[in-house]
Structure formats: structure tokens, C-alpha cells
Amino acid sequence: MQEAKKKIILSAIGKAVKRLRGGKSQFMLGAEYDIPSSVLSDLERFVKDPQLTTIFKLAGAFGLSLSEFAGEIEKELPEDFSVNEE
């Protein structure tokens, strides 16, 4: 995957996490769902590529299925975004 596309995806994940977290602090969300607050901080600053287990934990933390969480991430992607080479 091109580095530029990876950055777009990381940005979308971080924006979705921050939006869904709402007013809850990174520390509180992390403590409740066994996600280090440093991982949440890295995600929201677009510097960490999350592990699949973290994605599952985040979906659960937000009361979403994995596919619903993926849909929330998709909302943050550019409208014409595709991971496939064109």
C-alpha cells in the first residue's frame, strides 16, 4: 500500500476514534476497555497503525459491531478513496 494511502487511513481511524469518544477522556476510555491511553493518543495523532485486537476493543467500547465501526471510519475517508491501485 502506498504510504500516502496509509496516512489517509490512519487519519480516518484517528478522527473516528476522537469523534466517537466524545467527551470521555482517553484515560477513562482506555481504563474501561483495557486500551492503553498512549495507544489512543497515538491513534488520534495518526501515528499508530492499530492492531486488530485494538480495533475490536474500540468497536466494543463504542457499542458498535466491527462492521459498524468500519462504517464510522469510512465516514472520515475522502469520498473517492480506494485502497486499490488505479
4-36, pLDDT tens digit by residue? 899 999 999 999 999 999 999 999 999 999 999
Domains for the chain: give ranges and CATH numbers. 3-74 (1.10.260.40)
d(CA 84, CA 34): 33
Return the pLDDT at 4: 87
Place of cell 481504563: 31
Tens of pLDDT, residue by residue over 67-80, are 999 999 999 999 98
pTM, two decimal places = 0.90
d(CA 39, CA 3): 21
**Helices and strands of the chain, counted as H and E runs:** 5, 0
